[in-house]
Amino acid sequence: MSGEAQRNCRVVHRLTRRVRLLAPPLVRNAERCYILEILLRKRPEISEVRAVPDIGSLAIHYDPRRLPEQRLLAIVDGLLDNLIACPPAKPAAAVADDTPLQECSLAIEGMSCASCALLIELSLRRDPRVQVANVNFAAQTALVRGTLGRDDVFALIGRLGYRAQPIDTLAQRRLLVEREKEQLARAKKRVIVAAALTAPVMLLGMAMHRSPALRGLEFALATPVLFGPGREIFARAWQLAQQKSANMDSLIALGAGAAYLYSLPGLFRPQHHVYFEAAAGIVGFVLLGRFLEERAKGQASEAIRKLIELQAETAVVLRDGEEQVVPIDRVVVGDLLRLRPGDRIPADGLLVCGSSAVDEAMLSGESLPVSKKPGDTVHAGCLNGNGTFTLRVTAVGANTVLAGIVRLVDHAQGSKLPVQKLADRISARFVPAVGGIAALTLGGWLLARAHPATALAHAIAVLLIACPCALGLATPTAIMVGTGEAARRGIYIRNGEALETASSLTTVVFDKTGTITEGKPAVTDFIAVEGVDEANLLARLAGAEAGSEHFLARAIAAWCLARGAEPAACSDFEAIPGRGVRAHCQGLPMLIGNAALLDEAGVSCSAQQPQAAAFAEQGKTPVFVAVDGRIAALLAIADQPRQGAREAIASLRRLGIETVMATGDLAAVAQHIVRQVGIERVIARATPAMKLELIRELQQQGKRVGMIGDGINDAPALTAADVGLAIGGGADIALEAADITLAGGDIARVALTIQLSRQTMRIIRQNLFWALGYNVVAIPIAAAGRLNPMVASAAMAFSSVSVVANSLRLQRG
């Protein structure tokens, strides 16, 4: 039974022990996906199920000997029938609510560790109105999708003791960037104050004195450390305790607080041990680690910061014939803006007068300025050259291309890889588990007849050493740096899964026109059949091709217009994918395309075939023209390979990637191109359906396939590929539906994308190994009494900083 035989799903990719389905009933329905996963996992023949609600995808790993594919598909189809028939399992109030789904992006202030992010995320997901909630500790942002409004989201987060801020516009983001700089300055000040007070306390503690006066001095110095620079740690721990929750602040407050409270009797009893130096040292090292971590995270999010800084803060608006300088938030669609040499363009718009050269490197990655004249589009964030012009605003705020790019990078950095979800599950159980281990450590040492002070110190060391921050930072910091570095190089990655999958690609399939070649074909030859009125034929050609967006059609139309042809009136236009176009011009049927199109229509072009073959051998694409059932002309169109295409293909081959080109062109033309650029395999005369079939065939062979095309004709293949890469430019970057968009048409970025994704995944694996290994080794050492609390606190801070520093190596890759 094939995928097409199912009512609710279809097979898009199959291997021996795995099948991937697309099920429309699952699209954007996380609840159905979750329930279906649970039901399928109950079957012993199924080892793994992974659903992606955004696209309704379902990947199932199963044993085909015990459960044949036909039976598996029938089971899935039946379960989907039942799920469709069942009402949503949400409270009645939520079901009755007709509020449309809303997506809210926000920044969160006050998160001190990865546990904070996990706590906020879990609290949001418990609300029945929330469908999706992703909190990124490294970026200090959150993405929430559901039926609740922005104020409700902010209130939910506020009740946990954190502060939410909107980041809808670039101006709001700029304010947050400034606030982050202020917070970093305050964190630095706290560290300096804590260090100045803690150093003498630690020196006195090392002396192991019993002087009441010196103990009083320790108390006097340690107290302001805990309740001055360290006040936020205790305040948040208390707030979470009231919510019956806990995070890393809870562990730190418990450890430092226990050491401090245990020491108080020692002020009056000389024989009682004091740990004021441990309490102050714990807080001091934690504050130092967080300051270093914040500074490193600032470097990790440098790409977003640089994009935000491209947004102009003010604009010169023409109102009532006068120029007014206004804040960018007061500019509206339809306003006229005046741009002078060196100005940063504040909004998207169309030139209405004047001209200039505009630096569009932020969009295309190309350093050469682009000439602009009336009627051309310009985009916010680009830099005006030496000309002056006036533009009419077409998009402002969150609707500009620059805001779209920031949003794109944001989504990629905020997304979670499957490996991160594992880390989240570990972190969710970590804090209570550590509390239990610390209690066992305390009890064990007391049973072993250790001094209560010694037992307490060992328990505190366990609490401090077992920091889940490094584990929580392992993946998001690497994704932030990797996607940010990619954006800096003109590679826009939509989500973390695309980044992960790109690292394992084995085959890349290229479209030809506009991908391998420049996409600027031109007519090089025109041979009309004897007796044909050339002027009339050119008018028909111009009229028929005016309705097509294909590269070749535009080249023919431009060539006809350049020869003074007036487009004839045409009707019944139809584009036939991979063949050409059909239309009625001046009352007569007309065909323009390849030989296959004419053959299907019963029009003989055998007399022109030798010349067409000669054109093809020269790397030119032959195009036949037939009017009223008879051949009328033969054209040749040539398109040159992109500069650097050969080097780009060679880079892929060095990475061990197989390269394939699939094109609708003739075999001779395709072979000419692949010989020039060095591609290993070519599929000629391929329709969009044939390209789709090629992708599936390669996947069935066990290959991980990337498809790169122009995003229009190649949409089916781009969607079916494991990773779809689209050639983009200008505004296309923010709108492209592919997984990855390559700005400026530089296919050398394909190899760079794979290299970056491989490096990012390698860094993530290293981070997770060290973060998990650190805890596995450190907790038993602390429980065995081999670490004092201050050393444990310092080691905990170092572990988080080392993970971020390791991720930053991607910037040097």
Active-site residue set: 511
CA distance 678 to 668: 15
Q: Are 796 and 289 in contact (CB under 8 A)?
A: yes
> Cβ neighbours of residue 292 under 8 Å, at least 6 residues apart?
797, 801
Residue 26 near residue 51, CB atoms below 8 Å: yes
CA distance 619 to 679: 15
Q: Which residues pair with 466 in a beta bridge?
A: none
Of 26, 54, 293, which is closest to residue 184 (Cα–Cα)? 293
Q: How far is CA 351 from CA 68, 95, 370, 379, 735, in A?
A: 62, 49, 13, 11, 22
Label the pairing between strands 570-576 and 377-378.
Answer: unpaired
**φ/ψ of residue 252, rounded to 5:** -65, -45
Kindly report the length of the chain: 813
**Which H helix or E strand runs over 100?**
none
How many other CB atoms are there within 10 angstroms of residue 341's CB atom? 11
CA distance 156 to 520: 54
* Pairing of β 356-359 and β 507-510: unpaired
- Do residues 655 and 755 touch, judged by C-beta distance below 8 A? yes
With vertex at residue 478, the alpha carbon angle to CA 477 and CA 481, rounded to the nearest 5 degrees, is: 85
Segment holding 487, helix H or strand E: helix 469-488
Radius of gyration of the chain (CA): 32
Q: What is the helix (H) or strand (E) element at residue 136, kind and residue range?
A: strand 130-136
Identify the CA nearest to 458 among candidates 83, 780, 158: 780
3-state SS, residue 726: strand
Which residue in 792, 520, 505 sits closest to 656, CA to CA? Answer: 505
Amino acid at 284: G
Tell me how far apart the alpha carbons of residues 21 and 31 are, in angstroms, rounded to a whole number: 17
Phi/psi-derived region of residue 417, left when phi > 0, alpha when psi is between -120 and 50, beta in every other case? beta
β-partners of residue 339 are 389
Distance separating alpha carbons of residues 74 and 9, to the nearest angstrom: 10
Q: How far apart are CA 79 and CA 73, in angstroms?
A: 10
Assigned token pair, 612: 């067409």
Q: Is the dihedral of CA 756, 759, 761, 764 positive or negative?
A: negative
| Paired residues of 627 in beta bridges | 590, 630
DSSP string, 54-81: TTTEEEEEE-TTTS-HHHHHHHHHHHHH
499 close to 757: Cβ distance less than 8 angstroms: yes
Contact 471, 772 (CB under 8 A): yes
Query: 3-class DSSP state for residue 681?
Result: strand
